[in-house]
Structure 1
Amino acid sequence: MEFCPTCGNMLLYELPNTGHSARFFCPTCPYVCQIEKRVKIKRHMRLVKKAVDPIFSENDQQNLPTTDTTCPACNYGKAAFYQVQIRSADEPMTTFYICKRETCRNHWRED
């Protein structure tokens, strides 16, 4: 899909006639782009995963508020929590929990 560099409309394809080769043309302005007979092969770049920074660092996790909730992994009764809006604005926020037991530190979420 190609777009006109002058007006931004989508270019249309015109089959080759006796007078000209195949081309793209703009239906609203006089822009015309001739199509070469030789095909250009473009090499695709491999995508590299970008390093993701954590939302909260270890220091931030120590300052989170705590609540009385049970960890599903170790049944400890205290957990730190934070809320993030990960869906659309009309949906409720998602609550993420971190177990406060030093040996567990399990992470879970509640939608």
Structure 2
Amino acid sequence: MHFCPSCSNLLLVENGVGENGETCLVCQTCPYQFPIRRQMISRTILKRKEVDDVLGGEEAWKNVDSIETPCPKCQHQRAYYMQIQLRSLDEPATIFFKCCSTECGHTWKEG
């Protein structure tokens, strides 16, 4: 993407608008034109930002209740749970589970 040096708007590619029918980068709001005389290639590698834990990390699981339900990963018979309202109020809350087994710690959700 290239931007107009006069008004900072995005330049568009148009064929046959230059002095000799050249392909140009053209601004839609001002009369700026930049003739394209050679192939233009540029690449920018973007850095991905870190994803936040939406459940609050390990601190969120400290004071939650546990219930007797099997873990789908290790079949341990007890899991911590918490309910969070993710959708609108007329929809049921989503229940998140975390296996009580210290070796497993698998998390899953229902609803």
TM interval, short-chain normalised: 0.5 to 0.7
Q: What's the % identity of the aligned pairs?
A: 25
Is residue 2:14 matched to residue 1:22? Answer: no
Which residue of the partner structure matches residue 97 of structure 2? 97
* Counterparts of 2:75 and 2:21, CA distance in 1: 75
Partner of 2:63: 63
Deviation at 1:64, TM superposition (A): 2.0
Q: Which residue of 2 aligns with 1:79?
A: 79
The CA RMSD measured in Å over matched residues stands at 3.9
Residues 32 and 103 of structure 1, relative CA distance in 2, 3 Å threshold: closer
With the length of structure 2 as denominator, give the TM-score of the two structures. Answer: 0.55
Q: Could you list the per-position Cα deviations for residues 60-92 of structure 1 after superposition, in whole angstroms to 9, with x for gaps in the alignment?
A: 31212333433333241x32123362xx65865
Q: Output one character per residue of 1:83-111: Cα deviation in whole Å (capped at 9) or x when no partner.
A: 362xx658654322012244443322223
Partners of 2:80 and 2:36 in 1: how far apart?
63
Q: Is the 8 A contact 2:96 2:109 kept in 1?
A: yes
Shift of 1:8: 5.8
Question: Scaled by the length of structure 1, what TM-score is found?
Answer: 0.55
8 A contact 1:14–1:25 mirrored in 2:
no
User: What is the letter of the counterpart of residue 37 of structure 2?
Assistant: K
SS at match of 1:96: strand
